[in-house]
Structure 1
Amino acid sequence: MKQAAHAVILATFLLPLLPVAAAQAGPIDRACNASPRKQKSISLCACIQRVADASLTRREQRQAARFFSDPHRAQETRQSDRPGDELFWKRYRAFGDLAERTCR
């Protein structure tokens, strides 16, 4: 009975905070947490998002987040001859390299 009371009290204080935390999650963090990959963790996805915040614009983050659900889109972007895609891909690769070194 005591545990149930503690759970209710805890939920009362924490539930109002959940939408705030979810709203603050960036596009990379949300895509990472939604991915089916076994290696993911909340802390890993948050770390990758922090690197994205420092490396990519919000627009670039949204574009990169789509790669989690559609890896073929990444391949199309990488092989594109459009100058904008080439610039994005260079920035995306630098972000990926930094995230790999930082978020181990």
Structure 2
Amino acid sequence: MKQTLLAATLVILAAPLVPAPASAGPLETACLRSDRAQATRSMCRCIDSVAQRTLTRAEQRRAASFFRDPQLAQDVRMSKSDRDNAFWARYRAFGDAAEQACTGR
């Protein structure tokens, strides 16, 4: 009984010391799954961190879909919809911020 109690206490005390697994956002996941040579783990993580600061979660998912189907990006860019145009402006701002943060340009 003492050993069980001691073991349980150690597990409880050690739990905060074990780092929680980082969850990749939609853009990091899409980036890592892409076949692009520049899609390193650190680059994809950087892009995702910029996305988390500049895009809503729904916008991040929408942008991630561009990795799977680049034609979707072209369709949004060429759209006459005010909603698509507003998203495209935010997406471009995200892209500029990601380029600056992740490549140092």
* Shorter-chain TM-score tier: 0.7 to 0.9
Aligned residue in 2 for 1:11: none
The match for 1:60 is 59
* TM-score when normalising by structure 2: 0.78
RMSD, aligned CA: 1.4
TM-fit CA distance, 1:63: 0.2
Alignment of 1:3-18 (within 5 A): none
Larger Rg: 2
Output one character per residue of 1:20-56: Cα deviation in whole Å (capped at 9) or x when no partner.
43xx110000000000001110000000000000000
SS class of match (1:37):
coil
**Letter paired with 1:68:** F
Q: TM-score, normalised by structure 1?
A: 0.78
Aligned equivalents of 2:68, 2:101: Cα separation in 1:
23
Task: Extract unaligned runs of 5+ from structure 1.
Answer: 1-16
Q: How many residues in Structure 1 have an aligned counterpart in Structure 2?
A: 85
Q: CA deviation at 1:72?
A: 0.3
Amino acid aligned to 1:59: A
Identity of aligned residues (%): 52
Hey, which bits of structure 1, 4+ residues long, moved more than 2 A?
none
1:41 is aligned to 40
